[in-house]
């Protein structure tokens, strides 16, 4: 039980603010996500937003208002990349543009913080690795949950002997709404609501399930070998092209199966991740300020109650481990909302740029998650089971 209670040292998450050299950032894409990152950077020492780029005037203006005084505006990202004072860029544009912009940014000598999902196609994901190597750039992917200490504690519990063999994982991210954003001028419809159109977007798998996919791959320390699934446009008959619900199942080498469900017509379950072990279950809840609980199996408690196994410690443990009762999984500095781990991710990126070190969420995990997303969408669209065994290797 000591293993279950153990916490990863908090020092892992204490990000350095000591270097005096400032990292100058340019944000490419100042929509809702880009400008939220813009706002968070204001509270990070030695990190400044000195340029913003967007083709929609209102969004560009909003970005400039959040950026440092005197920041420059661009409607063409290529012009921004010519600015020698910019050290790194944040790529926060529709998914289909990630690869090309990240590629050109690195070729222009910029380090890159790329929002998830990293790339639109498996081919782009694999090729981007060569671009990073050729240009010796720092490349971080926006999976901020990796910077949440709660998930490190969860990983320690799941990998402990007491948890028992992990066999199944269920992930949900359900909302009740059409997922649309208001558009004042019809000419911007496809750019503002790009998540609805296959030309730009990987839909729910890319925008929501991708986060959970990345965490699952990290916790099990393996990659899926096959995927199948179903999806459809069965409720929102509004011209969208990406599915309004998705259900996918990934299988791993050792038999672990992980399922992902996203709904837009019912919010029950909300954000959930459930890890089923032989002796216990770990449940993660809450889209903001994630919480986690462990539920022990009656068979495990009964096994511990056997007379030959009960001593002072185990007897006290059995009293605490009541089957069906949630046991909180704690992290000393568990974030109350998504802003804190995202801020840590951005601060860590600045440290990586200054110290030329590989980020915690980097090209490798970004590539693997992007390929999983693309292949899950392919499986749903073709109604097939897709083999992934050779999908992740760079040629």
Closest by CA position to 154, among listed 320, 285, 301, 321: 285
Residue 78 token pair:
């290529």
pLDDT at residue 258, rounded to an integer: 98
Q: Say how far apart CA 98 and CA 142 lie, in whole Å.
A: 12
Using one digit for the tens of pLDDT, what is the confidence trace for 195-247? 999 999 999 999 999 999 999 999 999 999 999 999 999 999 999 999 999 99
Pairing status of strand 111-114 against strand 291-296: unpaired
Closest by CA position to 126, among listed 373, 362, 370: 370
The three-state secondary structure class of 277 is strand
The three-state secondary structure class of 120 is coil
* Strand-pair partners of 246: 231, 262
Using one digit for the tens of pLDDT, what is the confidence trace for 304-321? 666 555 444 344 455 567
Q: Say how far apart CA 388 and CA 217 lie, in whole Å.
A: 14
Residue 127 token pair:
């090729």
For the chain, what are the domain ranges?
17-145+345-360, 146-338+368-387
The contacts of residue 291 (CB under 8 Å, 6+ apart) are 150, 284, 285, 328, 334
Q: Could you tell me how far CA 131 lies from the centroid of its own chain?
A: 22
pLDDT at residue 47, rounded to an integer: 96
- How far lies 314's CA from each of 163, 293, 304, 306, 311, in Å? 16, 21, 7, 10, 5
Residue 189 φ then ψ, to 5°? -50, -50
What is the number of residues in the chain? 395
Q: Say how far apart CA 252 and CA 214 lie, in whole Å.
A: 14
Using an 8 Å Cβ cutoff, are 261 and 171 in contact? yes
Residue 351 token pair:
């440290």
Closest by CA position to 210, among listed 270, 262, 263: 262
Q: Which CATH superfamily is domain 17-145+345-360 in?
A: NAD(P)-binding Rossmann-like Domain (3.40.50.720)
Q: Which residue ranges in the chain fall short of pLDDT 70? A: 1-20, 304-320, 332-335, 394-395
Please state which CATH number belongs to domain 146-338+368-387: 3.30.360.10
According to the 3-state scheme, what is the secondary structure of 237-268?
Answer: CCCCCCCCEEEEEEECCCCCEEEEEEECECCC
The contacts of residue 77 (CB under 8 Å, 6+ apart) are 28, 53, 101, 104, 105
Q: Say how far apart CA 88 and CA 27 lie, in whole Å.
A: 9
Helix-helix angle 363-382:210-220, to 10 degrees: 120
- How far lies 33's CA from each of 91, 92, 115, 184, 339, in Å? 10, 7, 9, 19, 12
pLDDT at residue 307, rounded to an integer: 57
- How far lies 134's CA from each of 81, 107, 109, 138, 290, in Å? 18, 9, 11, 12, 38
Q: Where are the beta strands (DSSP E) in the chain?
A: 23-28, 47-53, 72-74, 88-91, 111-114, 139-141, 166-173, 226-232, 245-251, 257-263, 271-277, 280-285, 291-296, 327-328, 386-387
Residue 69 φ then ψ, to 5°? -55, 140
């Amino acid at each position: 039980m000591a293993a279950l209670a153990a916490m990863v040292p908090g020092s892992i998450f204490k990000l350095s603010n000591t270097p005096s050299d400032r990292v100058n950032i340019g944000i490419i894409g100042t929509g809702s996500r880009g400008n939220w990152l813009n706002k968070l950077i204001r509270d990070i020492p030695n990190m400044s937003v000195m340029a913003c780029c967007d083709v929609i005037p209102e969004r560009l203006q909003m970005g400039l208002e959040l950026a440092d005084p005197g920041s420059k505006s661009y409607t063409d990202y290529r012009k921004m990349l010519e600015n020698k004072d910019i050290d790194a860029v944040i790529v926060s544009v529709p998914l289909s543009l990630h690869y090309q912009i990240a590629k050109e940014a690195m070729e222009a000598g910029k380090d890159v913080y790329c929002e998830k999902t990293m790339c639109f196609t498996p081919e782009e994901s694999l090729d981007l690795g060569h671009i990073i190597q050729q240009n010796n750039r720092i490349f971080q992917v926006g999976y901020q949950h990796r910077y949440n200490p709660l998930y490190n504690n969860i990983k320690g519990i799941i990998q402990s002997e007491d948890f028992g063999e992990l066999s199944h994982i269920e992930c949900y991210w359900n909302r009740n709404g059409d997922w649309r954003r208001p558009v004042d001028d019809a000419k911007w419809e496809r750019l503002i609501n790009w998540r609805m159109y296959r030309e730009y977007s990987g839909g729910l798998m890319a925008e929501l399930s991708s986060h959970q996919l990345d965490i699952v791959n990290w916790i099990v320390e393996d990659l899926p070998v096959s995927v199948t699934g179903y999806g459809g446009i069965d409720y929102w008959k509004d011209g969208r092209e990406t599915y309004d619900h998705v259900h996918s199942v990934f299988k791993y080498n050792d038999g672990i199966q992980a399922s992902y469900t996203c709904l837009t017509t019912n919010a029950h379950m909300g954000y959930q991740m459930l890890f089923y072990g032989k002796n216990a279950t770990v449940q993660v809840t809450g889209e903001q300020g994630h919480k986690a609980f462990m539920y022990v199996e009656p068979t495990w408690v009964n096994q511990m109650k056997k007379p030959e196994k009960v001593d002072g410690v185990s007897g006290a443990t059995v009293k605490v481990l009541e089957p069906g009762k949630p046991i909180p999984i704690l992290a000393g500095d568990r974030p109350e909302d998504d802003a804190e781990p995202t801020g840590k991710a951005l601060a860590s990126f600045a440290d990586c740029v200054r110290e030329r070190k590989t980020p915690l969420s980097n090209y490798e995990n970004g590539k693997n998650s992007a390929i999983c997303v693309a292949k899950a969408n392919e499986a749903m669209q073709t109604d097939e089971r897709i083999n992934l065994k050779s999908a992740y290797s760079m040629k």
